[in-house]
Amino acid sequence: GAGVSQSPRYKVAKRGQDVALRCDPISGHVSLFWYQQALGQGPEFLTYFQNEAQLDKSGLPSDRFFAERPEGSVSTLKIQRTQQEDSAVYLCASSPEGVGDTQYFGPGTRLTVL
Amino acid sequence: GENVEQHPSTLSVQEGDSAVIKCTYSDSASNYFPWYKQELGKRPQLIIDIRSNVGEKKDQRIAVTLNKTAKHFSLHITETQPEDSAVYFCAASIGPGANNLFFGTGTRLTVIP
């Protein structure tokens, strides 16, 4: 079946622009995660949804970052007034349900802020 | 929160040799430890995982060991092949109710033909 997909794959934004990154999880997966991966680093947790409920947003670096999953399926990560330090790969992962379930990652969106 | 450290950051081995990557974690509540392989520009892919009620798990050429007392876990790849070359990440998850993964900083493995 189809894996996790993300769009766009690449995004270039001028500093100060708003961006929206989309994640389509595996159909039926309850949990959805967003991670930020800086160059040469491991992914860092941003936020977590269980169905439509955002249960943990402790990793969001500032109030410029906002995520939603209104119908419990597709999720959007929005970054307002982008800054150069926001440049990174944004990874989405989904898992069926439950604690410690396997997380399946999407290909990521590479965001470059000029 | 959880802190995962990973060593070495780079590792070169001859084809056919074994490779070992080690990770430590800080929070004794962590109970799930996956390993991901990430090729350049690609998504992280799960290669093996272990839960805290198990000490060792093996899948063909790949094995993972867990020492809960010492809070460390290791990835072992035997009979390495050039296609094993990639960046490997260990991770830990604290549960229940906190599924997010805490990742190590990665190990770049190069298998020399």
Selection from B59, B46, B107, B105 nearest residue A4 by Cα: B46
Q: Residue A60: its chain B contacts at CB < 8 A?
A: none
Largest CA distance in chain B: 45
- Residue A8: cis peptide before it, omega within 30 degrees of 0: yes
From the list B36, B45, B99, the residue facing A100 with the nearest CB is B99
Q: Which of B18, B6, B31 lies closest to B92 in space, CA to CA?
A: B31
A85: three-class secondary structure by DSSP: helix
Rg over CA atoms, chain A: 13
| pLDDT value of position B52 | 83
Rounded Cα–Cα distance for residues A45 and A30 (Å): 17
CB spacing of A99 vs B46 below 8 angstroms:
no
In the structure, what pLDDT confidence band is assigned to residue A98 with cuts at 50, 70 and 90?
A: low
Residue A34 near chain B (CB below 8 Å): no
**pLDDT in single tens digits along all 113 residues of chain B:** 789 999 999 999 999 999 999 999 999 989 889 999 999 989 999 999 998 888 899 999 999 999 999 999 999 999 999 999 999 999 998 865 557 899 999 999 999 99
> Over the stretch A10-20, which tens digit does the pLDDT of each residue have?
999 999 999 99
Q: Which of A40, A103, A104 shows the shortest C-beta gap to B101?
A: A103
Q: Render the burial of B30-66: b for 16+ CB within 10 Å, e for the rest.
A: bbbbbbbbbeeeebbeebbbbebeeeeeeeeebbbbb
CB B83 within 8 A of CB B18: no
The count of CB pairs under 8 A between chains A and B is 65
Are B99 and A95 inside 8 Å of each other by CB? Answer: yes
State whether the Cα torsion A34-A38-A43-A46 is positive or negative.
Answer: negative
What is the percent of chain A with per-residue pLDDT over 90, rounded to a whole number?
Answer: 87
